[in-house]
């Protein structure tokens, strides 16, 4: 009976709650009674017990287990119990993905969780994580979190847990700008050497609503975590109503969500033990995040899919019942009752002038190391769901990233050209949003909270791209305080050349002599901005970080940008920009004797919007001459 699988201490607490009428209030779970589970040193070959799991629906089924032996120190501080399983058709299906966490009881005491298996095994032999070590690592995670919170309260500092800053790449969002990002998150190394290739049982990742293309990319990114994304569907409404509120008990499905809403991604495993409001499961990490905040959900198993390698449970999440707050090397663990803090994302997609606008809404876990990938996967699926895109298209895009305590970041742009069509076209359209999310959530400067993300994308057939084919100045001589007139020839895609005139003011204090004007698309303009002020790529505070983000977010691809080098002298000294310095002072700071000073350059910028996405650049030279008109009228001039 299920009653037998709840620890004695938990049964006493539950009985008191019922008697006192407090059964609706979540109990705070302490540590399980050590007498209710085995110490590894007491385990001997030949001991026999039973396990619990769900093969279909939510019905608990028993299988048998026989201890083959104990493997000590398979990794630092980790032991493994080898068990041969039979029953529940395991002789045919083998160890099953989704069984992770299935508890094994011997003589009324909990041994541990089914957690490891061989691929292509002929016999259902499992590696079992001792429950004593599951408790140990969860307890350690709880202490660490409590200590960090105490430190934050006493010092006012918030620990971000970020890796050291890496050098940045001098690029715009094409490709992504990586501003001071920490090193990429390394998932825990699988125990691939254990017993000649036994591995943690892969967690089936049920993905609903995702296109095959985005699912394939998601699988590639999550494969190092031991995740196996599979296309799945939601459970019927009837099942959600009838089974969604059933309590989590040892052996029942345990679902952990990453995305919820019109698109859904959730991992499926099994509950190992419940102590008060504390739930233990899996017997191995899901993602190896340590302290985390992921939705803990009840689940439903549709069927078991037998495979030659490792069979798989096909399941669906049902209802959120709490929060997974520990994802450690021996288990996942959470508490029943709390609600997870998720990031709301909505997007509207219109794929033709006469097509209906479709709206998609989701909530995504705020885990910094996963959030950019999940945001990009959701947004690209919103496009893929609408079917094949035109070979030549123009997309008008707007995104608003709402922030707590700061003005929102707004991107408003037009995309067109070969980069935004084909297999990777959808990802290219939304990559700026994903990049900004990654920069904000993983920046090493200070925590930034994103309140919400809202996107609009309207796609029309036809390529509206124009290349800067040539350019000339009406006159290559100008007086200080005068204006340069440039005539630019734009060559639209499959169209006739079009002239574009620009007037470029020259300041009254501009020095005499030769100079140049650079006419370019927006990407070239941003690259020059970084070249002029390299300190932007190493922001020292949030203001500096947002300055770089907004520089790119405010850029529009339909612009032609003219830049004339400014005579203004400036340097950056220990992170502070000193502008409008006399030439002699700037020279002293910029000398090799002061290595802390970085020369800065400024441009006079004029921007003109067009009806095309602009590509290319041209550089023109001119002379600044006082009384230029008089000079031109003199004989011999």
- Interatomic CA distance for residues 5 and 251, integer angstroms: 9
3-state secondary structure of 239: helix
Q: Give CA angle at 98 (92, 100), nearest 5°.
A: 100
- Interatomic CA distance for residues 103 and 59, integer angstroms: 15
Strand order in the sheet with 513-520: 477-478, 617-624, 513-520, 559-565, 603-609
Task: Retrieve residue 414's tokens.
Answer: 């037009």
Q: Where are the domains of the chain?
A: 1-340, 349-461, 465-566+601-633
Which pLDDT score is estimated for 500? 97
CB 243 within 8 A of CB 301: no
- In Å, the largest CA–CA distance within the chain is 113
Task: Retrieve residue 68's tokens.
Answer: 């083959």
3-state secondary structure of 627: coil
- Interatomic CA distance for residues 85 and 553, integer angstroms: 57
Helices within 385-510 (DSSP H only): 425-441
Which pLDDT score is estimated for 354? 79
Chain centre to alpha carbon of residue 564: 39
- Interatomic CA distance for residues 178 and 439, integer angstroms: 7
**Beta-bridge mates of residue 314:** 303
Q: pLDDT by residue (tens digit) across 393-438?
A: 999 999 999 999 999 999 999 999 988 887 778 888 999 999 999 9
The two counts, helices (H) then strands (E), for the chain are 11, 33
Which pLDDT score is estimated for 141? 86
- Interatomic CA distance for residues 502 and 500, integer angstroms: 7
Which parts of the chain sit beneath pLDDT 50?
1-28, 158-186, 189-192, 584-586, 588-589, 592, 595, 632-637
CB 397 within 8 A of CB 426: no
What secondary structure does DSSP assign to 491-528, as a single string? EETTS--EEEEEEEE--TTPPSEEEEEEEE-HHHHHHH
Angle between helix axes 522-532 and 542-553 (nearest 10 degrees) is 150
The two beta strands, 613-615 and 465-473, are parallel
Chain position carrying tokens 């709301």: 344
Q: pLDDT by residue (tens digit) across 343-384?
A: 999 999 998 887 889 999 999 999 998 899 899 999 999 988
Phi, psi angles (nearest 5°) of residue 514: -75, 145
């Amino acid at each position: 009976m299920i009653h037998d699988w709840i620890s004695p201490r938990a049964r006493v607490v539950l009985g008191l709650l019922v008697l006192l009428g407090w059964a609706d209030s979540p109990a705070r779970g302490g540590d399980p009674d050590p007498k209710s589970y085995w110490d590894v040193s007491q385990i001997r070959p030949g001991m026999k017990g039973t396990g619990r799991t769900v093969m279909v629906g939510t019905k608990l089924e028993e299988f048998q287990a026989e201890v083959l032996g104990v493997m000590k120190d398979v990794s630092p501080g980790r032991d493994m119990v080898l068990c041969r399983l039979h029953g529940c058709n395991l002789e045919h299906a083998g160890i099953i993905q989704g069984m992770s966490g299935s508890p094994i009881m011997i003589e009324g005491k909990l041994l541990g969780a089914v957690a490891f298996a061989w691929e292509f095994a002929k016999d259902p032999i499992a590696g079992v994580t001792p429950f004593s070590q599951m408790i140990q690592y969860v307890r350690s995670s709880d202490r660490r979190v409590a200590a960090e919170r105490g430190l934050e309260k006493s010092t006012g500092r918030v620990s971000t847990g970020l890796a050291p800053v890496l050098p940045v790449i001098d690029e715009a969002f094409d490709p992504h700008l990586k501003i001071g990002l920490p090193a990429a998150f390394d998932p825990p190394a699988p125990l691939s050497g254990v017993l000649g290739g036994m591995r943690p049982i892969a967690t089936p990742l049920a993905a609903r609503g995702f296109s095959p293309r985005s699912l394939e990319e998601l699988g590639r990114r999550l494969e190092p975590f031991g995740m196996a994304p599979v296309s799945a569907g939601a459970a019927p409404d009837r099942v959600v109503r009838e089974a969604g509120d059933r309590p989590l008990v040892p052996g029942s499905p345990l679902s952990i969500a990453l995305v919820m809403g019109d698109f859904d991604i959730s991992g499926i495993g099994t509950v190992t033990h419940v102590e008060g409001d504390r739930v233990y499961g899996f017997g191995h990490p899901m993602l190896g995040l340590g302290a985390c905040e992921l939705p803990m959900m009840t689940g439903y198993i549709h069927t078991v899919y037998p495979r030659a390698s490792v069979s798989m449970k096909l399941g669906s999440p049902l209802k959120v019942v709490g929060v997974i707050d520990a994802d450690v090397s021996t288990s996942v663990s959470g508490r029943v009752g709390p609600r997870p803090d998720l990031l709301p994302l909505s997007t509207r997609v219109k794929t033709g002038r006469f097509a209906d606008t479709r709206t998609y809404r989701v909530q995504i876990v705020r885990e910094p190391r996963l959030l950019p990938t999940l945001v990009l996967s959701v947004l690209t699926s919103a496009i893929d769901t609408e079917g094949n895109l035109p070979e030549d298209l123009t997309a008008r895009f707007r995104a608003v990233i709402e922030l707590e305590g700061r003005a929102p970041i707004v991107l408003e742009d037009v995309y067109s050209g070969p980069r935004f069509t084909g297999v990777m076209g959808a990802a290219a359209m939304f990559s700026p949003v994903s990049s900004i999310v990654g920069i904000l959530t993983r920046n090493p400067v200070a925590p930034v909270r994103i309140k919400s993300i809202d996107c609009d994308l309207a796609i029309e057939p036809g390529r509206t791209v124009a290349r800067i084919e040539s350019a000339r100045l009406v006159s290559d001589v100008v007086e200080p305080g005068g204006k340069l007139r440039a005539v630019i020839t734009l060559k639209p895609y499959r169209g006739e050349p079009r002239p574009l005139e620009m007037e470029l003011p020259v300041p009254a204090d501009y020095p005499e002599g030769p100079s140049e004007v650079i006419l370019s698309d927006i990407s070239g303009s941003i690259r020059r901005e970084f070249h002029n002020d390299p300190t932007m790529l190493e922001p020292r505070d949030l203001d500096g970080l947002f300055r770089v983000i907004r520089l790119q977010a405010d850029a529009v691809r339909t612009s032609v940008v003219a830049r004339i080098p400014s005579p203004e002298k400036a340097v950056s000294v220990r992170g502070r920009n000193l502008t409008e310095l006399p030439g002699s002072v700037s020279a002293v700071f910029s000398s090799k004797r002061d290595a802390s000073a970085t020369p800065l350059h400024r441009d006079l910028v004029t921007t003109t919007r067009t009806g095309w996405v602009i590509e290319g650049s041209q550089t023109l030279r001119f002379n600044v001459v006082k009384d230029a008109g008089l000079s031109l009228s003199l004989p011999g001039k």
